[in-house]
Amino acid sequence: MGLLALFAVAAACLAVNGWGQSLAERLKGVQSGHEGPPPPSLPAWKAVSSATSTMTIPLVKGLLVSGAQAGEKGDKEQIRKIDTVTPAAATLVIEWDTPSATPGKPPDRKVSTRIVDKADMATAHRVMSYYEIGKLEHYPGSTGWGASAEVIHQLRATGASELLLAANPDPIVTMVAMQKYKDEMVGWNGHPLNKCELHRVGAADVAMPMLVNGVRVELPVIHGMCKFGGEDTHLYLLDQPSNPLILASQGEDGLTQMVKIDFPPPTAEELASSVAPSPGSGAGAGAASSMEKALGQNKPVEIYGIYFDFNSATIKPDSEAVLKQISDILHRNPTWKLSVSGHTDNIGDAAFNQTLSERRAAAVKDALVTRYGIAADRLTTAGYGASRPIETNSTLEGRARNRRVELQRQ
């Protein structure tokens, strides 16, 4: 049974690190520390400032956090979505794509589900970050997609907090790790865990760039670091005790970074709760209003809430909320016509990226026409590949912003 690391996508590591080798070759590679190419590094983000957002990222049904991991064939997207929230627990659905072993075939989509108890979100120091494909998992005593409020409070107060992080469960990796790092690993419920004395790096938060409901912001995060076998592991935690998401990590398993967060407008019940977002800050009416206003002024609008399969023009179901926003705007403004353009980053073949951008723009038009009743002659499409970047392609977040759909009123 395959597994997924929340911090470094295991399925992606299979391709990047050459895990198709024989067991003997893999064992030799792991022991020597040269199993694959060195991972890219996170940028040196600046300290928080008055420009850093103070918004709350709510733990609500529909919260969607999208991340990327650098790969040889392009950035591989990982999507985490809060499926349910009750007074006792929250359920996370996590999905990711891996390139098909058969050329020309769609990527393989893998999905896992995790229940995390609210009590553990408050006090747990264990983080179970590996997910078993196709399973509904529940590990009382641990968190899954972030730290706990207690960890955040300790990092704020003393600059340190103990964590027990799930270790790579692969038998070969585990065997070598237990030999090499035996004093730094423990077992829990049959799972290997890394002991991590997490120390805060610097006295202040750093400002991590993020797309929140399609808007570019900077979120305050705590940069923590611990060592395994002399190697540095870096974690970046949203400095928000009510929802301390792990937004980036860098270590032996590679680099993973969250780049987009979307959440729906608050319900009446959420507005009455202490963890509700500010009214109008969700991905619904407020975002649609901003989009409609910009289009009304003939300004181009960058759309980031449309998710596609890896290197594909297939639209993921998580895109429906944004597609509906666009269709609602067109229904309210029946004389408007829009151009839909697709854009990519510069990873991979330029001709492939050009074709992909054209196909993605066409897929958006097709969805609006066939599922939302928009007349086909109101939409034109074009693709520009990587020729019109709006950010640097040297960072994960920059490439994520370059992979976009744009709308322009004609």
Whether residues 54 and 202 share a domain: the answer is: yes
The H or E element containing residue 77 is: strand 76-85
pLDDT digits (tens, 9 = 90+) for 99-111: 666 766 777 778 9
Least confident of 22-26, 259-263, 277-281, 336-340: 277-281
The pLDDT confidence band at residue 242, using thresholds 50, 70 and 90, is very high
- pLDDT higher than 70, residue 276: no
What does the pLDDT read at residue 1?
35
Name residue, tokens 């395994």: 228
* Sequential DSSP letters for 245-309: BEEEEEETTEEEEEEEEE-PPPPHHHHTSTTPPPTT-STTHHHHHHHHHHHHTT--EEE----B-
Q: Which sign, positive or negative, has the C-alpha torsion 224, 194, 12, 9?
A: negative
How remote is the C-alpha of 260 from its chain's centroid? 6
Q: How many domains does the chain have?
A: 2
- pLDDT higher than 90, residue 35: no
Whether residues 127 and 230 share a domain: the answer is: yes
Whether residues 196 and 81 share a domain: the answer is: yes
Is 275 a member of any domain?
no
We report the CATH number of the domain holding residue 341 as 3.30.1330.60
Residues 234-244 have a mean pLDDT of: 96
Q: What percent of the chain has pLDDT over 90?
A: 53
- pLDDT higher than 90, residue 394: no
What does the pLDDT read at residue 181?
67
- pLDDT higher than 90, residue 58: yes
Q: How far lies 262's CA from each of 69, 316, 327, 344, in Å?
A: 19, 15, 19, 20
What does the pLDDT read at residue 13?
33
> Domain range for residue 119?
3-262
Is 314 a member of any domain?
yes
Whether residues 240 and 305 share a domain: the answer is: no
**Start-end of H helices in 125-243:** 149-158, 171-180
Whether residues 237 and 334 share a domain: the answer is: no
Residues 159-175 have a mean pLDDT of: 80
Whether residues 27 and 58 share a domain: the answer is: yes
- pLDDT higher than 70, residue 269: no
What does the pLDDT read at residue 10?
37
What does the pLDDT read at residue 253?
64
| φ/ψ of residue 353, rounded to 5 | -60, -40
The better pLDDT of the pair 54, 185 is held by 54
Residues 344-371 have a mean pLDDT of: 94
Whether residues 291 and 243 share a domain: the answer is: no
The pLDDT confidence band at residue 23, using thresholds 50, 70 and 90, is very low
The pLDDT confidence band at residue 279, using thresholds 50, 70 and 90, is very low
Whether residues 227 and 351 share a domain: the answer is: no
Conformational region of residue 113, where left means phi above 0, alpha means psi within -120 to 50, and beta covers everything else: beta
Is 268 a member of any domain?
no
What does the pLDDT read at residue 154?
98
Is 321 a member of any domain?
yes
Whether residues 150 and 89 share a domain: the answer is: yes
The pLDDT confidence band at residue 277, using thresholds 50, 70 and 90, is very low
What does the pLDDT read at residue 30?
42
Name residue, tokens 């609602």: 328
- pLDDT higher than 80, residue 274: no
Dist CA 140 CA 174 (whole Å): 23
Whether residues 104 and 194 share a domain: the answer is: yes
Whether residues 141 and 82 share a domain: the answer is: yes
Dist CA 183 CA 186 (whole Å): 8
Is 277 a member of any domain?
no
Is 269 a member of any domain?
no
- pLDDT higher than 80, residue 268: no
- pLDDT higher than 70, residue 302: yes
pLDDT digits (tens, 9 = 90+) for 61-95: 999 999 877 766 667 778 999 999 999 999 999 98
Give the global pTM: 0.81
Structure tokens, 27: 């064992």
Residues 6-16 have a mean pLDDT of: 36
What does the mean pLDDT of the chain come to? 82
The better pLDDT of the pair 221, 180 is held by 221
Least confident of 152-156, 263-267, 292-296, 334-338: 263-267
Q: What percent of the chain has pLDDT over 70?
A: 77
Whether residues 165 and 97 share a domain: the answer is: yes
Conformational region of residue 7, where left means phi above 0, alpha means psi within -120 to 50, and beta covers everything else: alpha
Q: Are 90 and 281 in contact (CB under 8 A)?
A: no
The pLDDT confidence band at residue 292, using thresholds 50, 70 and 90, is very high
